[in-house]
Amino acid sequence: MNIGELKHTGLKQWIEDAVALMGPDSVEVCDGSQAEYDRMIQLTIDAGLATPLNPQKLPGCVLFRSDPSDVARVENRTYIASEKQEDAGPTNNWVDPAELKKTMTELYRGSMKGRTMYVIPFSMGPVGSDIAKIGVEITDSPYVVANMHIMTRVGAKVLDVLGSGGYYVPCFHSVGKPLEPGKQDGGTWPCAPLDKKYISHFPETREIWSYGSGYGGNALLGKKCLALRIASVLARDEGWLAEHMLILKITNPQGEVKYITGAFPSACGKTNLAMLVPKLPGWKVETVGDDIAWMKFGADGRLYAINPEAGFFGVAPGTNMESNPNAMLTIKKNTIYTNVALTEDKDVWWEMIGSDAPGKLIDWNGNEWVQDKNNKEQKPAAHPNSRFTAPAKQCPVIAQEWEDPRGVPISAFLFGGRRPKTIPLVNQAKSWIHGVFMGSIVGSEVTAAALDLKAGTIRRDPFAMLPFCGYHMGDYFKHWIKIGQSHDESRLPKIFFVNWFRKNEAGKFIWPGYGDNSRVLAWIFDRCNGADNYVETAIGNLPKPDAISRPGGVSEADMKEICSVDTEGWKKEIADVRENHYPKFGDKLPGELAAELDAIEKRLGV
């Protein structure tokens, strides 16, 4: 389709203005077809940017290597350009929107010379769902087009829903590397220098402008940019929730089904939980989504969730047949790999894949690499943030409802972090407001090496939304509180906090995690049915002794330790929240959370 065939006059004008500014050699409106995807992949192979992988081992798969400056989210180049600085809040980078647009307009001027401009109409969520939203991304990267084919629903069917005047989120993207006449990329990943990279969000006008990066969420603008940073603003204004949450379908031995969402900071096992293989006999776990949940209220007063994405954009290192067999099976075909290592027979390898490197590899920088286990300083063959992009429909445990436009009814929210001490295995909030308090203090303890912080320091990541909330986090807390105040609490999901990462005095994990986490999910499932399997404590409802079946290797004493209140530890936790965390939000901190902090402190006998 060409621009002239578009029915939406506003969209047509927006594209024409972009063409005049960016100066591409040609323009294509993406149709979302398999032939188009195949053509994008072939273009990148021909340009020397992609390597076809072994068709016997990984049919339909390719490997990309990005520039070393373009391997991850660049938080210090990510902006929430609200009209007022105070509306961005203390957890976001703010730039005056008029100044930022002026700077970026000059960067965009002529940025697509020598390239094709691709116009990607995409739906976040099943096309036509009342919970879904439409975006249109302009890009000069065939890599982005191919990834967006996997991660979103692209093409003519989206334009049909948009019609002649429907609402869409406009998304600009350019790799920021125009080509002189007759020049090609020559196998070099196209991007701009770090100080010219911008990932910018304009909350009031609902626009996304990205420049200079061709990687991940910086360039796949349906991902964190639309699905969280802009959608969180839309959700606040329209009365729903856009959250950094997985969605699980759980079926008990009696055939009863519940749906649960969960928010976890990075490195806390979120994707592994999303595709969990239960070790509890008779229980079944299926995946609705692994990263993002959009939730709106149904006529029955319950929250219904969709997974707005159509694919998985997962971190490769650490993914293996023990940690996440379903992910490993999902990425066996039709997958885009980025920055993993290449074997001599055109297979892929990464650290913690479950086996030693098979001989000589080509690392993510394109250099020969041979594993040397005696060299602790050896650089990894795969980048720590190397990724796979795979269609969700290929997941062996994808739930049949995953594309239901009505969404699935949510019974419970889980929050969690990596906490070696204090936080119990599972804890149910006493009320909605107590649950919001629990979500607001989510954090993980980190090593000094990880974040240049004192060992044992807690890095707070409220609701696991710290890098993704498109407005002031204090107002975000207030939005959650209003959701509870304006709806029947008995119809709202129950709220739980989980922690798979408690350690004993010897520094060993007490709980085995992975498939054994199904034992905790079973307790949560029964709590949602009102089961008398809990004891009330100062910090919430904890499991009764023997309410959670013990895995092998976990003693009764272990269970008592991880399912009881560490009063002294909690006193320190509350003090840290009061002294170091909540003050960040100033007068935007809701009074209800300050009162909840006082109440818990009182119950603990501080």
Query: What is the tens place of the pLDDT at every residue in 11-23?
Result: 999 999 999 999 9
pLDDT band for position 445 (50/70/90)? confident
**pLDDT, tens digit, for every residue of 330-370?**
999 999 999 999 999 999 999 999 999 999 999 999 999 99
Gap between the Cα atoms of 380 and 363, Å rounded: 8
Q: Which of 30, 171, 225, 268 is catalytic?
A: 268
Please provide the CATH number assigned to the domain covering 242-308+400-603. 3.90.228.20
> Above pLDDT 90, what percent of the chain?
95
Q: What is the reported pTM?
A: 0.97
Q: Tell me what pLDDT residue 463 has.
A: 98
Q: Tell me what pLDDT residue 269 has.
A: 86
Q: Tell me what pLDDT residue 456 has.
A: 67
Q: Tell me what pLDDT residue 481 has.
A: 98
On whether the CB atoms of residues 471 and 233 are closer than 8 A, the answer is: yes
Q: Tell me what pLDDT residue 457 has.
A: 82
* Six-digit token string for 529: 């049915």
The answer to whether 268 is a known catalytic residue is yes
CA-based nearest residue to 132, from 162, 102, 110: 162
Q: Tell me what pLDDT residue 101 has.
A: 98
Identify the CATH class of 3-49+74-238: alpha beta
Which has more confidence, 377 or 450?
377
On whether the CB atoms of residues 406 and 298 are closer than 8 A, the answer is: yes
Average pLDDT over residues 395-403: 98
Gap between the Cα atoms of 306 and 483, Å rounded: 18
Gap between the Cα atoms of 508 and 420, Å rounded: 9
List where CATH 3.90.228.20 sits in the chain. Answer: 242-308+400-603
What kind and span of H or E run contains 138?
A: strand 133-139
Gap between the Cα atoms of 227 and 216, Å rounded: 14
What kind and span of H or E run contains 313?
A: strand 311-315
Q: Is pLDDT at 583 greater than 70 in this prediction?
A: yes
Q: Tell me what pLDDT residue 324 has.
A: 95
Q: Tell me what pLDDT residue 447 has.
A: 53
Beta strands in 157-299 (DSSP E): 169-174, 198-202, 207-211, 241-243, 246-251, 257-263, 284-289, 293-297
List where CATH 3.40.449.10 sits in the chain. Answer: 3-49+74-238
* Six-digit token string for 346: 């055109």
On whether the CB atoms of residues 120 and 139 are closer than 8 A, the answer is: yes
Triad 111, 116, 122: Cα angle to 5°: 100
Average pLDDT over residues 414-443: 97
Q: Is pLDDT at 453 greater than 70 in this prediction?
A: no
Q: Identity (one letter) of the amino acid at 227? A: A
**pLDDT, tens digit, for every residue of 97-148?**
999 999 999 999 999 999 999 999 999 999 999 999 999 999 999 999 999 9
Gap between the Cα atoms of 253 and 281, Å rounded: 8
pLDDT band for position 266 (50/70/90)? confident
